[in-house]
Structure 1
Amino acid sequence: MDKQALIFSFGACAFTVIVIPLVLRLCKKNSWYDKMNARKIHTENIPRLGSLGFVPAFFIFASVFVSKQDTGLFLRLLPLFAAGFIVFIFGLCDDFADLPAGIKLAGQVLASFIPLAFDFRFTQFGPLQLGALGYALTFVWFIGSINAFNLIDGVDALCGSLSFFLALTLGIICLLTGKPVLPGIFFVLAGSLFGFLLYNKPKAKIFMGDGGSQFLGFAFAVFPLCGISAFVDYNLFPLMIVLVSIPALDTVAAVWRRKRERHSFYTADSAHLHHKLLRMGYTTRSVLAVLLTIQAGLCCVAAFAATVLGGKRGFFVLGGAFAAMTVFFALIHYTYRAVNRQSFPRAAGEKQ
């Protein structure tokens, strides 16, 4: 890794470690907590503004790093930083006062149009050139990723740890195949997240909140579109789908579940992947261990496909990895249903 990138990554980590205790003190003074309710896993009031530590750390250290390395690239990335800031602010507002679904979606749409206006988009899907279809696919990708990371943030350190693995993997892929400055962006994000995870690991002292989870979803949706290399671009979309398959498939399941039950997508429930594993007898730590082990495996497969195989071979390996994750989610779903049926038999006429 470039020495400058390493220094800025440690700087972002140190910034987060120093700022989080100040945020904790501020939250406790003003009673800014993630309140307990029937669907929450924690059993006490926990501050939920951890994003105020690691998101500013990323913005500050990533922007200074890029501007020092390549002024032209910094100017090209300014719209992405601006769009990410919009997502962060809307998420932060939602942490203080539950925003109506329409306002939250409006903020996400506004932020998503900014990179599209500057032509940050998927241009191909394997051998298929997307053309204008790339704009629509990228827009759906932005909105889906923002919400997917928001929904998976339900267990101590889960969203942060998945994101840490993802940032490291993308940094390594960029380092091995791409432009010299791009790895630093992901390594700075990894450093920021590591500092946050010191306070978010079980038993968490603070949560990242919607400001953090939605920002991470957008960051991982948009920064890989900066043009890593032609070698990676061939499989960039399947690569990213595999890397985010845990939150992505959990979101697909949530959409299907809420459509089936005729509920709004923004209606909260307690049937996400982590909830199911907890009700199947796993502890918070074991849920974290299982899902991070899977994420580490996905990262290894994705990195190998992106940096070594490439082309059609990489495309089929990534397709196989995503198929395996789909089977995993199906197994968890039907195992969970079987466990629930044994523990709580259905009354006559009750729907599944």
Structure 2
Amino acid sequence: MFYPLILYKITLLLLLSSFCLSYLLTPIAQNLAFRFNVLDTPNYRKIHKSPTPLLGGLAIFLAFLFTLVFFYLLISYQLFITGPAFFSFGEEKLFWLKMALYLICSLFIILIGILDDFKSLDFKLKLLIQSLVAFIMVFSGSRLNFFHLSYLNALISFFWIVGLTNSFNLLDNMNGLSSGLAIIILSLFAFLAYTTHHALFALFLLIPIGSLLGFLPYNFPKARIFLGDTGSLFIGFSLATYSTWLFDHLIKSNTSHWAVLIGMLFLLFIPLCDTLTVIAIRIKKHHPIYVGDTNHLSHQLVKRGLAPTKAVLILFMGSLLTGILGLLIF
């Protein structure tokens, strides 16, 4: 009878902890960016008028990391006090092993993000490191097990992780867009995990949600700091990884393979649609796919007369609506 009360307390603790840490760490990251001249200077593709500090992603990651450690200690204590029979989430050991590997790989993603924010790295080097990280994640079990052929699942999962990692990097072109979409998608992931009896995963997802919420006031509607590649790559990599875990959980829950696949595509519709559209345009125009332009969905809305803030809000609504449709499919 006390289980829901414990769950609600942990939910509140995780959201508040991650939010407050991120909210407090973001100004520190802002000052560091100014001190070391890690700034995004305006150009024809960008709407900001003055150099803006990067490294917002560093504050998000640190808030996420500290809260995750707190979460682990909290769960361990609760299981010790009440016993696993009373407060069991299922597959705890496997979950934490996967989490440890994800954190190690995230450190590499954060590292290349920071280096790229300080001094732009060659695209090929970034792609190489992302590919190595994706390879590690896939062959440790983070994959989309849709087909009966394991090597085909591994190949698709590899491109899925690399693609989504870069998708949010490409999507980070207007204030609040990447972080806001990530909050919406993660919230839908958490709801889906909870309603399909994976409470541990649902609780965990509150940590990145809170970390992003703490950063958002500094980035939307007016940006005092940007995510930088540190933040956008970490968000993309995290969502890619979480989606494979959720996919695997839903398949094991005897949900239809096709329902899981189509539902997942709906949950991630806006970032996937934006990325595929931009890549198609760049290929058609014989432009390198890694060179930025103003052909993103947000840019198209602005070209049609909308203010950037309204364009971002429309994409938020679009993501929420397609996400709800995705939930109805499962």
TM-score bracket, normalised by the shorter chain, equals 0.7 to 0.9
Structure-1 residue corresponding to 2:303: 279
Indicate how the Cα distance of structure 1 residues 223 and 192 shifts in structure 2: closer, same or farther if over 3 A, else same. Answer: same
Report matched runs for 1:146-295 at 5 Å: 146-226=165-245, 227-229=248-250, 230-232=253-255, 234=257, 235-295=259-319
Amino acid at match of 2:327: A
TM-score normalised to structure 1 length: 0.81
Give the SS at the match of 1:122: coil
40-49 vs 62-71, greater mean Cα deviation: 62-71
Equivalent runs, 1:5-20 vs 2, <5 Å: 5-20=11-26
Is 2:133 the counterpart of 1:111?
Answer: yes
1:16 and 1:54 in contact (8 A); partners too: yes
Q: Alignment partner of 1:181: what SS?
A: helix
- In the TM superposition, structure 1's runs of 4+ consecutive aligned residues that sit over 6 Å from their partners are none
Question: Offset at 1:72?
Answer: 4.7
Residue 110 of structure 2 corresponds to residue 88 of structure 1: yes
> 1:8-87 residue pairs with structure 2 within 5 A?
8-66=14-72, 68-69=74-75, 70-87=92-109
Contact residue 265 and residue 326 of structure 2 kept, 8 A: no
Q: What does residue 327 of structure 2 align with?
A: 303
Deviation per CA, 1:195-247: give whole Å up to 9, x if none.
00011111111110111111111111112323434245733333222122211
The DSSP-based 3-state class of the residue aligned with 2:60 is helix
- Separation of aligned partners in 2, 1:265 and 1:151: 10
Q: 1:10 deviation in Å?
A: 1.2
Q: 1:247-283 deviations in whole A, cap 9, x for unaligned? A: 1111112221222222221112121111111111110
Give the C-alpha shift of residue 62 in structure 1: 2.4
Equivalent AA in structure 2 for residue 82 of structure 1? I
Q: CA deviation at 1:68?
A: 4.4
Structure 2 unaligned segments of length 5 or more: list them.
1-6, 76-91
Moved more, 174-183 or 226-235: 226-235
- Quick one: distance in 2 between partners of 1:140 and 1:72? 24
Q: Is the 8 A contact 2:262 2:326 kept in 1?
A: no
Cα distance in 1 between the residues matched to 2:117 and 2:34: 15
Deviation readout 1:295-342 (Å, 9 max, x if unpaired): 111121122222xxxxxxxxxxxxxxxxxxxxxxxxxxxxxxxxxxxx
Shift of 1:71: 4.7
> How far did 1:3 drift?
2.2
Give the Cα separation in 2 of the matches to 1:45 and 1:233.
49
Query: Which amino acid is 1:272 matched to?
Result: H
Task: Show CA shifts across 1:116-157 (max 9, x none).
Answer: 121221111xxx545321001101101110111111111110
- Give the alignment partner of residue 151 of structure 2, picking from 129, 132, 146: 132
The CA RMSD over aligned residues, in Å, is 1.8
Offset, 1:2: 4.0
Superposed CA offset, 1:34-64 (max 9, x none): 1111111111111111011111211221244
Q: 2:267 is aligned with what amino acid?
A: L
The answer on whether the counterparts of 2:262 and 2:329 sit within 8 Å (CA) in structure 1 is no
C-alpha distance in structure 2 between counterparts of 1:4 and 1:172, whole Å: 15
Q: Percent of pairs identical after alignment?
A: 26
Q: Secondary structure at the match of 2:48?
A: coil
| Partner Cα distance (2:256, 2:105) in 1 | 22
The alignment covers a number of residue pairs equal to 303
